[in-house]
Amino acid sequence: MGLFDKKFCDICGEKVNMLTQKKLSDGQLCSDCKHKLGSFTSGWKQRTVQDVKNHLEQREQNKQKYQQFNCTATAGGRYSSLQVDFNHRWFIFAIDNRDFKSGNPQVFEFSQLQDFWIEPEYRTLDDSDNDGIPDNRDNFDNRQLNNSNSFGGNMNRMNNMMNSSMLNIPLAAQPFVRNSSSYSSPNEIREVCNVRVCFRVTDQFITNPIGFDVTSGISSGNQMELMNAYETAVQVMQLCGQIKQGGASVNQGFNQMNQGYGQPQQNMGGFSGNPVQNATYAAASAQVQSNTYNTAAPVTPQAVDASWICSSCGTRNEGKFCQGCGCAKPAAMPSRCPSCGWTPANGQPMPKFCPECGARL
């Protein structure tokens, strides 16, 4: 066959465009057939035409499987998430890729999940005075200070404390984090700019790890965005732990997650985010969260009026949204510190951070 001879797809028989074709070890695919391959698959140059036929048959079977998928638990970011069907013992990655858009995302069995981890991504920032604080957050130029005196030493200690708050990894996330090196060269410093969750599954045609970002990015120096990103990532890891255990220890997963974020972190405070969204196990999760946070002192349950009054139109409501104007129910303010049990005095507003242990309120 000559270099410029016409080539045809070994699956559908249509003419192959040399610029958009997919090469196989014993043939080629046209652009249309190439896009029928799963988004997570790779290594097709080493595979055969028969491998493609087998894979496309599996994709058709997967389409029928996905129609039976019923999400009972989910965790992840705004645009990508891990969704689980505990009834069928299936899970999918709800990622904005070709498979998900076409209504045929890959459905995995619980037994196919082999590994999972958190992977921070870093940005490099300038540090002109080499004090460990990026220039965009450094209010003091140590090159103009006499570091031997008390004032200069205090400034250095303050800078190091501010910088460590952006590098510390929460206790709950530490067992899962990989690639966490924050090594910086002179006059440069690295800080976390994104948090990614990664997974490795057992599949004949999937050889590379699957992953997605839990956030659209972390602004430089924004500690709140960093904490929220790690919190979301840990929720995904806890849900993966439930998958590895076959879904038998759902309550234990929530308990571990709440314990990790209920503890104050050095220079960061505790985390207080939403639990993994789970319609089936919501009641059990709420009970676990109550037991975990209220360890400082026993608290007697009290009957609370669940109704609320809309601040916009004055309508009294029972649900999550106002019946009069559609406004969302405002978030409830905490009345005590979830870590140490501190409560404000009568008439004193609740601060953002606990004055006793530093946990975020």
Is residue 135 helix, strand or coil? helix
Q: With 90 as the cut, is the pLDDT of residue 4 above it? A: no
pLDDT in tens, 229-271: 999 999 999 999 999 998 655 444 444 444 444 333 433 333 3
- The more confidently predicted of residues 1 and 236 is 236
Handedness of CA 127, 128, 132, 135 (dihedral sign): negative
DSSP at 175: T
Q: With 60 as the cut, is the pLDDT of residue 153 above it? A: no
pLDDT in tens, 281-305: 344 344 434 443 344 444 444 454 5
Q: With 80 as the cut, is the pLDDT of residue 146 above it? A: no
Question: How is residue 175 written in tokens?
Answer: 């067992």
Question: How is residue 258 written in tokens?
Answer: 């709440």
Q: With 50 as the cut, is the pLDDT of residue 272 above it? A: no
Cβ neighbours of residue 223 under 8 Å, at least 6 residues apart? Answer: 165, 166, 268
Give the separation between CA 345 and CA 281, rounded to whole angstroms.
36
Amino acid at 109: E
* Contact assessment for residue 171 and residue 259, using Cβ atoms and an 8 Å cutoff: no
Is residue 189 helix, strand or coil? strand
Mean pLDDT of 116-121: 95
195-211 residues labelled b (16+ CB within 10 A) or e (exposed): bbbbbbbebebbeeebb
CB < 8 Å & 24+ apart, contacts of 102-105 = 103/63, 103/66, 104/59, 104/62, 104/63, 104/66, 105/66
For residue 22, give Cα distances in angstroms to 19, 101, 166, 191.
Answer: 9, 21, 44, 39
For residue 64, give Cα distances in angstroms to 11, 57, 98, 180.
Answer: 22, 11, 17, 40
- Greatest alpha-carbon span in the chain: 88
